[in-house]
Amino acid sequence: MIKPHGSEELMPKIVNTDEEKAALLESAKTMKKIKVSSAAAANLVMLGAGYFTPLGGFMDKKDVLSVANEMKLSNGLFWPTPVVNLTSQKIDFKEGEQIALIDPNVDGDQIIAIQTVNKIEKLDTDDIDNIIEKVFGTNDKEHPGVNTFYDQGDTLISGNVDVLNFSYFEKDFGETFRTAMQIRSSIESKGWNNVVAFQTRNPMHRAHEELCRMAGERVNADGILIHMLLGKLKPGDIPADVRDSAIRTMVEHYFPKDYVMITGYGFDMLYAGPREALLHAVFRQNCGCSYLIVGRDHAGVGDYYGAFDAQDIFDEIPSDALKIKIFKADHTAYSKKLNKVVMMRDVEDHSKDDFVILSGTKVREMLSNGESLPKEFARPEVAEVLMKHYMQD
């Protein structure tokens, strides 16, 4: 199986034994506490679950600037986006102390992790502007990822962490949430060697379904990992539980048995386009996947990125930066001529009128109005799950 990023084995930061967890929670009673942002809490879940191997915790200013400007840590390891604990709160602890990090997404001031504070550093306005511009390609606060980053604050708390739990993800998504360790173990137990990963924050329509099928066939995959984001999204995106139900319905009806693994991960969407596509590749490599499907406007939002910028960036990084490969997908649509979903680049004899294409906005509008989605766009069983959600709203 493909090796994890920058390591011979996964390096999860979750505390494994009840005894160690109890000891840390006892010690935390006398520690200073700070409530982290949702973005930082999501980073902790990813650190705990092994997805961010080989990172040991939150980056310091030197690493953050190196990642933003050069896509590598100060030690030279490739890394595409900052992993930070930023705050605007008053700091009442010192470098070298251990602090308890409070989860903002769970009631009752639950401690999600213990951090050993390495450095406490200020990012000035120019630093923050530069980081955001390099990572997101824009400083426009209308961009949801940019707005989230600006809102976190300017005080950077770096240092290694011991993660105590996976926030709300195990409880709310028990059937779906999986750590990188669990996914690797499942792949190994199935005897799969060549696995294609599909990233999604949306329900899967027929184009997505066929894209997975095409990619699997073309790289001769043993199986497909459908890996859905379960964390915070922007307003208007379909909730994770509805998406989960729709995807499970599609796989049950339209894929061979035991060919697809349906899993999810606990991260907040960055909407960082090309940079986030690289991050997606890092943690799919850590899951043990050989390929990641990267399609049109992967991890994008609005019109901030070109349709295939997220593919092109893989051609710009060093050839040895990642072990995982990408499957470059073109626009997919239903061909009226061929009565099936195709990648548009594969059918040069088609005109625009030969395709059935629906925008996400049009789909949401139709569902909100109780209209059935065309069979060329969505499987009827999937459309039914989505319509129920919209009619409830």
- pLDDT tens per residue across span 166-217: 999 999 999 999 999 999 999 999 999 999 999 998 888 888 888 999 999 9
Q: Comparing 79-83, 234-238, 267-271, which segment has the lowest mean pLDDT?
A: 234-238
Question: 269 vs 47, 51, 127, 148, CA distance in Å?
Answer: 16, 15, 22, 10
The catalytic position among 147, 202, 213, 248 is 202
Residue 359 has pLDDT above 70, yes or no: no
For the chain, which residues make up each domain, given as ranges?
18-167, 175-265+271-392
Residue 393 has what pLDDT?
58
- The strands making up 260-265's β-sheet, listed across from edge to edge, are 260-265, 223-229, 195-200, 291-294, 325-328
Average confidence score pLDDT of the chain:
93
- pLDDT tens per residue across span 66-111: 999 999 999 999 999 999 999 999 999 999 999 999 999 999 999 9
Residue 296 has what pLDDT?
85
Q: How far apart are CA 117 and CA 379, in angstroms?
A: 51
Shortest CA distance to 40 belongs to which of 274, 232, 280?
A: 232
Q: How far apart are CA 308 and CA 300, in angstroms?
A: 10
Q: Is 213 a catalytic residue?
A: no
Residue 368 has what pLDDT?
78
Pairing of strands 260-265, 223-229: parallel
The catalytic position among 43, 85, 184, 201 is 201
Is residue 86 within 8 Å of 156, Cβ to Cβ? Answer: yes
Residue 106 exposed, middle or buried by CB count within 10 Å (0-12, 13-18, 19+)? middle
**Residue 293 CA neighbour count, 13 Å, CB half:** 30
User: What is the pLDDT confidence band of residue 7, given thresholds at 50, 70 and 90?
Assistant: very high
Model confidence, pTM: 0.93
Q: Is 202 a catalytic residue?
A: yes
What is residue 175's three-state secondary structure?
coil
Residue 348 has pLDDT above 90, yes or no: no
**175-265+271-392 under CATH 3.20.20.70, yes or no:** no
The per-residue b/e assignment along 34-57, b for 16 or more CB within 10 angstroms, e otherwise, is bebbbbbbbbbbbbbbbbbbbbeb
**18-167 under CATH 3.40.718.10, yes or no:** no
Local structure of residue 149 (DSSP, 8 states): H
